[in-house]
Amino acid sequence: MLEVKGLRKEYGGLTAVKGISFNLNPGDIFGFIGSNGAGKTTTIRMIATLLEPTSGTAVLNGADVRKDPMAVRRMIGYMPDFFGLYDDVKVWEYLDFFAAIYQVPVKERPGIIDSVLELTNLTVKRQAFVQSLSRGMQQRLCLARCLVHDPALLLLDEPASGLDPRARAELKELIAELGRMGKIVIVSSHILPELADFCNTVGIIERGELLAFGPVSQIVKDIQPHRVFAAHVLKDPEVAMQTLIQLPSVVDAKLVDGELRIEFVGDIEAQADIVALLVDKGFRLAAFREDSADLEDVFLKLTTGAVN
């Protein structure tokens, strides 16, 4: 379990992270969302023991990043937003080097290297020099490096940056698999739909403050408590709006860009009643669809775009 307690980082007069707290359990895939300069990387680097917090701490399975950083380092796999690879070694040598750093017994290393290469789909590149790999392969090799010591926590800072769509899809599947393996995964990314796809928890950070934290569905519900439907009525949409607002299941209705936006509380029957009413009253209904908020809407609503 990872407990982040009041983590704060100051650089001179600038507070990069303002005392953020959250907990994550094994299997959690946590999407860390924020603009550039919001404090994501600083937070990740503090958890990775690369920066000492000004105050607060993070505790991973009982090991405190401030009191026992070596113990934390043994349990984390850190993948920064750059590769940091050695070009002049072969793929297996690179992994063997990090396995040695993480004190994986010599006898176990070949088997583990084979496993992580298979998991990251790099088995055929075992004997290749790192410099000969494509960007996507290098990214997967970085991930393989993070896995050689079977860490409890993976810190992935912008893991999908610069990857083509196929490599991105493969990486997403891989991260989801790691979550299923019971690892805690923290992923920071700018690409919000991508995170919403495979993260079961997200946190939105701006100017060092954690504005929202929890499951995607919960956060969406917090900012948009009612379901929203969009109806495209061809004639007299204002009249249709006045008609709908009479219904007890309709909390509010507005006309936005020629479409009706209907805030709704009710079951599927009440939902069907809306359509039936519009048709019965003779409105020409061209489209009717649910238009609920997504992670991007939440992000835009909660943040102002300000940076530190």
Partner 1 sequence: MKERFLDVFVHNPMLVEISRFRRRYFSFSTGNPGNSVILTLVLLGYAGFVLIVEENREAMNPISIVMFETAVLTVFAPMMLYGSIAHERERRSWDLLLAAPITKFQIVGGKFMGAMAALSIAVGLFQIPILIAAFGYKDTNWWNLFEATFVSFSFLMTVCALTILFSARVKRGLMALGAVLGILTVALVVFPALTYGAGIDRLSGDPFLYLHPFTVLSHLTMTDEQNKVVSAWGWPQTFVYIFLSLVLLAWAENTLNFAENEVKFLPQGDKNA
Judged by CB under 8 A, which stretch of 86-94, 207-215, 220-228, 256-264 contacts partner 1? 86-94
Closer residue to partner 1 in complex, CB, 109/261? 109
List the structure tokens of 151: 């860490």
Judged by CB under 8 A, which stretch of 87-95, 213-221, 225-233, 261-269 contacts partner 1? 87-95
Q: Does 55 bind partner 1 (CB under 8 A)?
A: no
Q: Does 131 bind partner 1 (CB under 8 A)?
A: yes
Pick one of 6, 129, 209, 294: the residue that binds partner 1 (CB under 8 A): 129
CA gap 288, 260 in Å, rounded: 9
Closer residue to partner 1 in complex, CB, 47/274? 47
Q: Does 276 bind partner 1 (CB under 8 A)?
A: no
State the helix-helix crossing angle for 268-280 and 237-244, rounded to 10 degrees. 140
CB of 111 to partner 1, least distance (A): 18
Q: Does 50 bind partner 1 (CB under 8 A)?
A: yes
Contacts of 182 (CB under 8 A, 6+ apart): 26, 27
Q: Does 110 bind partner 1 (CB under 8 A)?
A: no
Give the three-class secondary structure for 10.
Answer: strand
* Type of residue at 137: M
Find, among 93, 96, 97, 91, the residue nearest to 120 by Cα: 91
Q: Does 85 bind partner 1 (CB under 8 A)?
A: yes
Q: Does 51 bind partner 1 (CB under 8 A)?
A: yes
Backbone angle region of 7, left / alpha / beta, with phi > 0 → left and psi within -120 to 50 → alpha = beta
Residues across the chain: 308
In which residue are the tokens 């939902």 written?
271
Closer residue to partner 1 in complex, CB, 11/124? 11
Pairing mode, if any, of strands 201-206 and 29-33?
A: parallel
Total site size for partner 1, rule CB under 8 A: 31
What is the H or E stretch that residue 140 is in?
helix 135-147
Residues 8-47 binding partner 1 (CB under 8 A) are 11
Judged by CB under 8 A, which stretch of 82-90, 239-247, 258-266, 296-304 contacts partner 1? 82-90
Judged by CB under 8 A, which stretch of 25-33, 95-103, 169-177, 251-259 contacts partner 1? 95-103
Pick one of 23, 55, 132, 218: the residue that binds partner 1 (CB under 8 A): 132
282 burial (CB, 10 Å; 0-12 / 13-18 / 19+) is exposed
CA gap 135, 137 in Å, rounded: 5
Point out which residues bind partner 1 (CB under 8 A). 11, 48-52, 70, 73-74, 76, 78, 80, 82-86, 88-89, 93, 96-98, 100-103, 129, 131-132, 145
